[in-house]
Amino acid sequence: MDVDLIPAPRELRTGGSGRVRLGPGTRLAAGPGTEGVAHWLRATLGAATGLPLAEGDGPLRIELGIDPDLPPEGYRLDTGEHPVRLAGGSAAGVFRGAQTLRQLLGPDAFRRAPVRPGRDWELPPVTVEDAPRFRWRGLMLDVARHFMPKDGVLRCLDLMAAHKLNVFHFHLTDDQGWRVEITRYPKLTETGSWRSRTKFGHRASPLWDDKPHGGFYTQDDIREIVAYAAERHITVVPEIDVPGHSQAAVAAYPELGNTDVVDTAALGVWDTWGISPNVLAPTENTLRFYEGVFEELLDLFPSEFIHVGGDECPKEQWRRSATAKARMEDLGLADEDELQSWFIAHFAGWLAARGRRLIGWDEILEGGLAPGAAVSSWRGYQGGIAAARAGHDVVMCPEQHVYLDHRQDGGADEPVPIGFVRTLEDVYRFEPVPPELTEAEAGRVLGTQANVWTEVMESPARVDYQTFPRLAAFAEVAWSALPAPAERDFAGFERRMTGHYARLDALGVAYRPPAGPRPWQRRPGVLGRPIDGPPPDK
């Protein structure tokens, strides 16, 4: 049995020749504070192995405990003899260690039911001491462009957990759809969650999928998702976009738009890709409306951070709007960029007054940012560098490196999504902390996240294809203490991936195989528009 852990742990010592066996009599002894992890292990490993893993002591047992001397998400796992010991700095650390324990049992531990009932289960004798490099190890999923039904979101959380990721950035609204029930504004989902047709492929594609697309999560769905994530020690950070990427909201409530410039009552939910010019009007009515949205959101999501978007807000309608002009005069603002900044500052203050923190895409730096607000640096490293230097926390997610909608290979068989080639190796060599930051500035980098934008991902299988195997490389970047990019052992990572593909197979993940897409994963290149290379770092 190879020990091919992904993400790689800080320290792995193998030793001894004996293997610890797990069988029907193996007990699971949960120390104080680890009951939730025991529950997860019993449900997950219990299902895969068919073993009851009953609570209690016995000569053959797995012991879970908290060791406050370990880092909060760190753990130590010892499988040399019975009892198998797993200790974490907190329940989260024990849970991360439980992922390692599962990997050590082999790929069949990733199934939902035993495939060879009665088989032996054994652990290789190892000691693992491990802790994450970053406290924010995120995945963003865009459920606005293509809706992911709730079970798909829960599965996504399981896949994140298996890779020791801990922040799910839930992109809930955009021009093409509003996906969360807001009880006081029912039309956001009645109208805003459906579009009549969908562009198939890149926006330059001539093809349409001429059927309605949509869906949304009820507030109970959201509570279930948040609770399911919490059981896996994953924080869900919701994103509601303001003031751009808002056409679905304007289609539902036309008074939110720039009614003196366009007939917003005639707008539908957007059916193509790109950046809609139909942005929110900078009025008191809009602010009050969105405060209402965020009030309901705060009840649903306990996260410290609330993401407000803030990216790609075209100012054209504001330039033409007498209402916007009057607003700028009232507020003493010099231009439309300051209006955008005022909009974001309003919600930064509003969230801070409620004990939360605003996070937004790096455009929110333009015009100054409220203290305590944080930045998702997406247009490159530069936004993150500027934010860190200005004393803001940063999540590094530069599109040049970790936008998983970009194609994984230049081959003709590759389904052509948006943009340039980002291979598994490119992602493996991504470094979240740019060398120009001082140590103190680097301390502002909370971590990193991979972003899955779904314009060209019309099905969950396509999301799998774009996300895996690159998310495994990303997880190692976010968790493991890797050396500088050029010194990383990609060949070693690929060797470990051999075992990891077997786990992904057992989990039913439709990843891109190393040899290229399977026939059913191919898609005619005419639908995409590859570009030569990544955009410049802004």
Residues 349-388 binding ligand ACM (CB under 6 A) are: 361, 378
Q: Spot the catalytic one: 213, 233, 245, 307.
A: 245
- Shortest Cβ distance from residue 451 to ligand ACM (Å)? 7
Between 361 and 479, CB nearer to ligand ACM: 361
CB 289 within 8 Å of CB 328 = no
- Shortest Cβ distance from residue 258 to ligand ACM (Å)? 21
Residues 57-116 binding ligand ACM (CB under 6 A) are: none
- Shortest Cβ distance from residue 252 to ligand ACM (Å)? 22
Catalytic site residue 426? no
10 Å Cβ neighbour count for 315?
17
Between 47 and 386, CB nearer to ligand ACM: 386
Task: Evaluate the omega torsion of the peptide bond into residue 469 and state whether it is cis, within 30 degrees of 0.
Answer: yes
- Shortest Cβ distance from residue 24 to ligand ACM (Å)? 51
Q: What are the C-alpha distances in Å from 310 to residues 76, 82, 187, 313, 366?
A: 41, 53, 23, 7, 10
Residue 129, beta-bridge partner list:
11, 76
Residue 410's SS3 state is: coil
Catalytic site residue 210? no
H helix runs in 448-507, sequence order = 460-467, 470-479, 490-507
Residue labelled with tokens 């902390």 = 433
What is d(CA 280, CA 322) in angstroms, rounded to the nearest whole number? 14
- Shortest Cβ distance from residue 347 to ligand ACM (Å)? 17
Residues 415-444 binding ligand ACM (CB under 6 A) are: none
Geometric angle at alpha carbon 485, from 482 and 491, rounded to 5°: 75
Catalytic site residue 439? no
Between 124 and 447, CB nearer to ligand ACM: 447
The residue at minimum Cβ distance from ligand ACM is 311
CB 433 within 8 Å of CB 396 = yes
Per-residue tokens: 88 = 């974490």
- C-alpha torsion sign, points 455, 458, 461, 465: negative
CB 384 within 8 Å of CB 370 = no
Between 49 and 454, CB nearer to ligand ACM: 454
Per-residue tokens: 370 = 């409220």
Q: Residue 68 gets which letter from DSSP?
A: T
H helix runs in 332-395, sequence order = 336-352, 382-389
10 Å Cβ neighbour count for 325?
15
Taking residues 310 to 339 in sequence order and writing x for each that binds ligand ACM by CB under 6 A, - otherwise, the string is -xx---------------------------
CB 485 within 8 Å of CB 431 = yes
Residue 532's SS3 state is: coil
Q: Spot the catalytic one: 312, 366, 431, 537.
A: 312
Residue 87, beta-bridge partner list:
65, 76
What crossing angle do the helices spanning 91-104 and 35-49 adopt, rounded to 10°? 20
What is d(CA 316, CA 360) in angstroms, rounded to the nearest whole number? 21
- Shortest Cβ distance from residue 449 to ligand ACM (Å)? 11
Residues 277-296 binding ligand ACM (CB under 6 A) are: none
- Shortest Cβ distance from residue 155 to ligand ACM (Å)? 24
Residue 196's SS3 state is: coil
**CA gyration radius, the chain:** 24
Q: Spot the catalytic one: 63, 174, 175, 363.
A: 174
Does residue 343 belong to the site contacting ligand ACM (CB under 6 A)? Answer: no
- Shortest Cβ distance from residue 533 to ligand ACM (Å)? 17
- Shortest Cβ distance from residue 328 to ligand ACM (Å)? 25
Count of residues touching ligand ACM (by CB under 6 A): 4
Residue 14's SS3 state is: strand
- Shortest Cβ distance from residue 378 to ligand ACM (Å)? 4
Between 312 and 458, CB nearer to ligand ACM: 312
Question: Which residues, in sequence order, are CB contacts of 145 under 8 Å at separation 6+?
Answer: 174, 176, 177, 273, 453, 454, 455, 457
Cα maximum dimension of the chain: 79
- Return the closest-CA partner of residue 223 out of 140, 153, 309, 289: 153
Between 231 and 311, CB nearer to ligand ACM: 311
CA 279 to chain CA mean position, Å: 25
Between 95 and 381, CB nearer to ligand ACM: 381
Between 224 and 312, CB nearer to ligand ACM: 312
Residue 78, beta-bridge partner list:
85, 127
Residues 236-275 binding ligand ACM (CB under 6 A) are: none
Active site residues: 174, 245, 312
Using CB under 6 A as the criterion, which residues of the chain lie in contact with ligand ACM when the complex forms?
311-312, 361, 378
